[in-house]
Structure 1
Amino acid sequence: MRRDALRDGLDDDGRRALRSAVRMEWATIAFLAVAIPVVGVVTGSSQAMRAAWVEDMLSLAPPLAFLVAVRVMARAANPRYPYGYFRSVGVAHLVAGVALFAMGSFLLVDSALTLVRGERPPIGSVEVFGQSVWLGWFMMAVMAATIPLPIWFGRVKMRLARQLHNKVLYADADMNKADWMTAVGSIVGVGGIGLGIWWADAAAAIFISGSILWDGVKNTKGAITDLMDTRATTFDDAKPHPDIDRIHDHLSSLRWVDEVRTRTRDQGQFFHVEAFVRPRKGRMPRLAEIEQAQAECRGLDWKMHDVVIVPVRTFPEIASARSGES
């Protein structure tokens, strides 16, 4: 296998999508490199602004995890790692999910305690060209400026995540959605302070923290189940992946096949398929027929990186005829 195994496994559209995804992640990092210090400067004593600032820093985790995973996945298989390094996507997904979960939990508890204690965060004024200007206006202006790009990033990454079947990219797209929702929440919280609603800031911080925590729970759960070899699902874990049925239907159409059962695991962007086929009576397939069937299965979708076809008399206890059957 060549060193560039990842790109060799992709079709032309997939290679273009991967290049676009890499560029998009670098653009996200560049945006956050500017946004994080600017938000930090105007944070003040606002609980919502502090939560938004931490959320921006956490937003670096998914793009960094994706870029590292892309490089690691491209390594060729070797005797120590005979299945290659494709699982690095799952590891990166888990790291990002745990980081979100841990920080979301901390911020949620901290924000809730602030609300319970009834702390009223002061927002002072600054001198601008000899005029006293409420600092809250700067806070809301900065957060408003951070809304458009995350919306665009999220939409593009969601499309690319679906095309590449990359769950780290999907997690990042989800994080971008949380970014702009967080910015809106912080604007509401700071505006509430300006209107004399002291609890609005803590309430907005709780909303932001809950969003971070929920992202952490979803992504940690998804990463763990993938690493435990759950049945392959779509990029958003919404349903069994349709390629499971495509493999089954193709093998069932072969003249020498009587019945088929499959087990498909998601190795992080690529699938490993074990297809158990019961030959028709008196029709034991030749080696050339099995090899041809393997090649045809891999040709159904570039994600079918590794297909193993095993002729059997009886099927393993847990293997599916169709994605809806156990």
Structure 2
Amino acid sequence: MPTSAPPDSAATEVYASGVRRILWLTLGLNLAVCALKAGVGAWTGSLAIMADAVHSLTDSLNNVMGLVVMRWSTPPPDREHPYGHLKFEAVGALGIAAMLGIACFEVVKPAVMRLIEPASGAVEMNPTALALLVLVLAINIFVAIYERRAGRRLHSKLLEADATQTFGDIWITLGVIAGSVGIWLTGWWWLDVVLAIPVALAVLWSGWAVVRGNLPWLVDANAIAPEEIQQLAMSVPGVVDCHAVHSRGLIGRQVFVEMHLITAVGDVESSHRITEEIERLLRQQYGPVQATIHVEPERYAEHAN
């Protein structure tokens, strides 16, 4: 007896509008950060700061990509996509991971250039430029914390991935500031090269964190432990056995559950009421859930009471 709960289109639209609003806000802030870094880099002649500006530009491109992804991930299920479009969001998050790889390259490239052609004399660092970099750092910290909190509140993998990248940007900016201060105080050009290595590793780690967080969703890993679903189903009066339990999706957004159920009642209508109660409990505990429950004869029981 397959049963299913129609997706809550109103809740989906509230979610989509919330994510879009946050993406537009962070896009504006990231563009401002990019402009500040590019201006300081051109003013001081610092290759590291210019590379950091390019990294901030990738942040802005990620926001644009996120807005495009939201356009494709939020429509309700249709004939071509009967399970909805939410995985477009996970694909977008993996795109952000790819952008992190590009950002890593942009960190390493100026370091290699400095090794080949030492350019410490060409960098003219000053207190005003350092103050602007600190301002940029403060904006990045605000964006990262705000976007991560919003992503967790809305259960948005896209926002969380974008926040992870912004935290990577913070590490890069810290490295650039430290190197700039060192060059300003000592004239040691190789400080940029020394700091570029841990910054590159931090960016790579951020990219791996994004991939690790989204692959289970894309490859349909279990969203909920089967034992938890079995325990919940067995708590409903009239249930004799629950087995062959599978789930996929993202808790808090949309989870699809399949199970085989055996009841102690003798008619279809009573079994249907039991399946509806199981679905209600699943939604109460895990958020939006669509369940397909196959009711079997009692002789198929595997874990009978």
Query: Does the 8 Å CA contact 2:240/2:301 hold for their aligned counterparts?
Result: no
In structure 2, the gaps of 5 or more residues are: 1-6
Query: Does the 8 Å CA contact 1:29/1:60 hold for their aligned counterparts?
Result: yes
Dislocated runs of 4+, deviation >6 Å? none
Query: Does the 8 Å CA contact 1:108/1:210 hold for their aligned counterparts?
Result: no
**Aligned counterpart, 2:257:** 274
1:56-205 to structure 2, matched below 5 A, reads 56-104=56-104, 106-107=105-106, 109-111=108-110, 113-114=112-113, 117=116, 119-124=118-123, 134-194=124-184, 195-205=186-196
Code of the aligned partner of 1:222? G
Structure with the higher fraction of residues in helix conformation: 2
Cα offset, 1:293, TM superposition: 2.9
Cα offset, 1:99, TM superposition: 2.0
Could you say if the C-alpha distance between residues 294 and 8 of structure 1 is closer, same or farther in structure 2, counting changes exceeding 3 Å? farther
Could you say if the C-alpha distance between residues 304 and 268 of structure 1 is closer, same or farther in structure 2, counting changes exceeding 3 Å? closer
- The yes-or-no answer on 1:218 pairing with 2:209 is yes
Code of the aligned partner of 2:195? A
Query: Does the 8 Å CA contact 2:232/2:281 hold for their aligned counterparts?
Result: yes
Greater alpha carbon shift after TM alignment, 258-267 vs 188-197: 258-267
1:219-298 to structure 2, matched below 5 A, reads 219-232=210-223, 247-261=229-243, 262-266=245-249, 270-280=253-263, 286=269, 288-293=272-277, 295-297=279-281
Query: Does the 8 Å CA contact 2:100/2:165 hold for their aligned counterparts?
Result: no
Q: Deviations over 1:230-286 (max 9, x none)?
A: 222xxxxxxxx68x7664433121122233343221259633332323415676764
Could you say if the C-alpha distance between residues 114 and 253 of structure 1 is closer, same or farther in structure 2, counting changes exceeding 3 Å? same
Code of the aligned partner of 1:180? I
Q: How many residues align?
A: 288
Q: Percent identity?
A: 19
Cα offset, 1:144, TM superposition: 0.7
What TM-score do you get using the length of structure 2 for normalisation?
A: 0.79
Greater alpha carbon shift after TM alignment, 150-159 vs 284-293: 284-293
What TM-score do you get using the length of structure 1 for normalisation?
A: 0.75
Q: CA RMSD in A?
A: 3.1
Could you say if the C-alpha distance between residues 162 and 70 of structure 1 is closer, same or farther in structure 2, counting changes exceeding 3 Å? same
**Aligned counterpart, 1:237:** none
Could you say if the C-alpha distance between residues 246 and 22 of structure 1 is closer, same or farther in structure 2, counting changes exceeding 3 Å? farther
Rounded to whole Å, the distance in 2 between the matches of 1:50 and 1:86 is 36
Rounded to whole Å, the distance in 2 between the matches of 1:294 and 1:255 is 10
Query: Does the 8 Å CA contact 1:47/1:201 hold for their aligned counterparts?
Result: no
Cα offset, 1:189, TM superposition: 0.7
